[in-house]
Structure 1
């Protein structure tokens, strides 16, 4: 049932194969978890296959250690015609106790695709209902605007042959 699942939480156990030489979980592994949770959230909202189109404002705040229980929380904060923006928060804690600590946060954007031609297809609309929702929606849009500015700068350098 599309348009019903605004929030989703997934949990992962940080395994020895997830860590780098410093003994902390690779940023790429964390990004994979973010993408997996985002996909599940996007499909839950749209009711159809969806693809990642952007990740913005990703910040690695604290390391994740081997054996940590990792929680990835997604929350829909904006919809376009076929796009869905999710605020994502990654926290970790010792599974035998202890307080969770914020490790990573970002905004991830998915586009819903129709299953016949693979073209963007409309998603159920979502409208902020309170001040927290409006602030999160505004934050998501600011993060994506900053990302567009970075893309334009990189393209300018690429065209000038400096990259």
Structure 2
């Protein structure tokens, strides 16, 4: 048994202050909730303060309405030496029933840092189930793709 927390779900009520000009929850509010859940998950796994190094592949699939109960589920899907890849899913729906629809998903990379702000080692996570192995393998493939994107984006620096 481990005292490491690999997964967490945060819940929020979508408030009128979260609305964009179209009357739906603003993507920035959703991204803030994602970052909060990623931090809570990474800190729970590593036992350390963590910072966001990357957020990518954010897919907004369905709108979130004011008054919806929003659930942001975060799970460690890969650990490096100092970093943790966190898979996130956002689901939302009427709080009066149990039905939630997938609205957004992405991956966030968090880095554990020490008191001086320098990256520090995190505990290794080893996948066991087929699903966990598939998610870990996907995180590794995405890491390679990001390296290519970084090289390509350098041409666009101003």
User: Shorter chain as normaliser: what TM range?
Assistant: over 0.9
Contact map agreement 1:56 1:147 (CA 8 A) in 2 = no
Distance 1:126 1:33 in 2: 24
SS of residue paired to 2:17: helix
Distance 2:13 2:51 in 1: 25
Report what 1:149 is aligned to: 148
User: Is 1:78 matched with 2:78?
Assistant: yes
Unaligned runs of 5+ in 2: none
Distance 1:94 1:105 in 2: 19
TM-score normalised by length of structure 1: 0.91
- Equivalences, count: 157
Distance 1:52 1:4 in 2: 19
Contact map agreement 1:112 1:120 (CA 8 A) in 2 = yes
User: Is 1:119 matched with 2:150?
Assistant: no
Q: Which moved more, 1:97-106 or 1:142-151?
A: 142-151
Cα distance change, pair 3–136 in 1 and its aligned pair in 2 (3 A): farther
Unaligned runs of 5+ in 1: none
Report what 1:21 is aligned to: 21
Give the RMSD, CA atoms, in angstroms: 1.4
